[in-house]
Structure 1
Amino acid sequence: MLYIWPTITALLVILLLVKNKKSLNTNKIIEIFLLSFLVVMVGIGSIWTFLGHTFMAAQIAAYIGWPAGSPFQFEVACANLSFGVLGILSWKFRDNFWTATIIGYTVFFWGAAYGHIMDMINFQNYAPGNVGAPLYMDIIMPIILIILLVAYKLSENKAETIE
């Protein structure tokens, strides 16, 4: 399941590149990548995580190495739902909406990564959901989003300067 969201993101990128092939420039290409990551990885991926933490809470807790039944897990689910909604709304809203979405996503996921690392250090929690792929994604996804956003803003400013 881990590879489904990157695969769907790549497919959306390809679809949008083909659809927009006549108007492609550096800014448009970066926009397509950023939009795809926001909608799929942040949007749909976060809603998927919300569903897991809400409707398969005991299994997800076991995967992360947490005790089942904590009310905090539903709070984590709702935080994921929030970013899922923001990611999907990124299809319609642009500009500073993207910036705000990425800032919030970064704060939450880097905070979650810190929590997982502290759980590993303090409680020797080496469960795959605590220190495996989810931890790496908590760190890497915000970096990818920040790089794409900065590149997009720079290419947008460069395009405005040329015109």
Structure 2
Amino acid sequence: MNLFEIIWTFLFPLIGAVVALLHLAKERKTADAHRRLEIVLMWQLVCGLGLSMIWGGIGHLLFADRVAESIGWATGSPFQQEVGIGTHRSGS
């Protein structure tokens, strides 16, 4: 794994941590332990998970061949669209 891949792997969780710290600083006088945990978890779900899923979907939809090559899949497959949209049609 090169430095670029490491940065992209941890970029969205890091953004979530920074935003959570800013939010905690704003509520430092009023937030109890449960509220602080709620803030950290909320921003990790929104940024760490949510943004990374959106980013992955964009990659699979708009840069399908490039992503397929990078993970060892065949290019030109409609499976890329299915992964990008995140849906699965059963019985098709």
Same fold (TM over 0.5): yes
Query: Unpaired segments of 5 or more residues in structure 2?
Result: 1-7, 88-92
| One of 35, 40, 44 as aligned partner of 1:28 | 35
Look up the match of 2:20. 13
Q: Which residue of 1 aligns with 2:59?
A: 52
Q: So what's the TM-score if we normalise by structure 2?
A: 0.79
> Percent identity at matched positions?
36
Give the structure with the larger helix fraction: 1
Counterpart in the other structure of 1:90: none
Structure 1 ranges of 4+ moved more than 4 A:
none
1:56-95 superposed matches below 5 A:
56-79=63-86
Distance in 1 (CA, whole Å) between partners of 2:18 and 2:10 is: 12
Residue aligned with 2:9, SS: coil
SS in 1 for 2:73: coil
Amino acid corresponding to residue 77 of structure 2 in structure 1? S
Question: SS where residue 22 of structure 1 aligns?
Answer: coil
Give the count of matched residue pairs: 80
In structure 1, stretches of 5+ residues that fail to align are: 83-163
Name the aligned partner's letter for residue 14 of structure 2. T
Q: Is the 8 A contact 2:14 2:48 kept in 1?
A: no
Residue 39 of structure 1 is aligned with which of 46, 62, 85?
46
